[in-house]
Structure 1
Amino acid sequence: MEEHRFHLSANWTGGRNSVGEISAGNLKTQISIPPEMDGPGIGTNPDEMLLGAAATCYIITLAAMLERRNIPVASLTQHSEGIVEVDKGVITYKKIIHRPNVVLKKECPTDQVEKVKQLAERAEKSCMISRAIQGNVEIGLEAIVGIEN
């Protein structure tokens, strides 16, 4: 079994509405509580970072699956949304919705559209981050697949 380790360093001085810094490999940024939760909104925050981890893992997994099957892709874009619920002071990350948009090249047979939709669903189940948060955060998928004009 192979094991990979990732490390993050954090520095936080002050109280709730202070600003900190994190550093992990190529990720170096300030952190604070988002303005939606009455924070200063400087840098990023845990809500954006969880969404970013889930979204990047998903799109990379989908791209790898498409490549392995030699499916000719003209473009692969995505919008992801995180939904956080605040109920009586308890904050819960409820749901992440991925909305990938896959445009296949003209020469791609039309029967590939359905295959790509299935791969989009399989990528969500295969993604390491999706598996890590499974059972805690609902993951939704609204894939759009088409062929370029």
Structure 2
Amino acid sequence: MADLQFSTHLKWRGTGRDGEGVVTLAEDGVVYSAPASMGGKGVGTSPEELLIAAVASCYSGTLFRLLKKAGLPVEQLEITAKGEVTDYPTQAKFSRLRVSPVILGADRSRFEEYARVATQARDHCFIGKAIAGNVSYDVGKVDVK
């Protein structure tokens, strides 16, 4: 088995919530800072949104693969992902992440199968597994269209 490595490049300027950075992803720069709701600059995205996006992007690819493997019709997925930070500002903790998939091109009569596979995808997404034990990670409403 091979070990794989992934890297990214970041630049940061400023102190704490007053700072701002750029992360380079696939040759595109994405500006990030602490969110305004946490007293930050609110410029670009935030580390919290980047974490949510990382888990949700892994989940979406895993779900699509598992739906195909199960022989369930699917054309496209739309994922809404939400994260929650609790005990802000004293002991802030990223406490919950929920993914809610909409499965397009689905066979509505097989809803229960889609819902089962949606939960399986959560358990198979290796980026999601990286937060296990630290963040409550669940599947919200599953919709088939």
Structure 2 gap ranges (5+): none
Quote the offset at 1:31 in angstroms. 1.6
**Count of residues paired in the alignment:** 144
Match of 1:63 in 2: 64
Pick from 125, 129, 132 the counterpart of residue 130 of structure 2.
Answer: 132
TM-score, normalised relative to structure 2: 0.88
Match of 2:4 in 1: 4
- Greater Rg over alpha carbons, structure: 1
Quote the offset at 1:74 in angstroms. 4.5
Quote the offset at 1:72 in angstroms. 1.4
RMSD over aligned CA atoms reads: 1.9
Secondary structure, aligned partner of 1:79: strand
| Residue identity (%) | 26
TM-score, normalised relative to structure 1: 0.86
Q: Deviations over 1:51-83 (max 9, x none)?
A: 001111111100111122332124422211100
Structure 1 gap ranges (5+): none
Q: Which has the larger displacement, 64-73 or 93-102? A: 64-73
Q: Deviations over 1:18-76 (max 9, x none)?
A: 21111143452112110010101112111001100111111110011112233212442
Quote the offset at 1:104 in angstroms. 4.3
Q: Deviations over 1:94-143 (max 9, x none)?
A: 000111122444xx482x32221111110000001111110000012123
Q: Is the 8 A contact 1:78 1:100 kept in 2?
A: yes
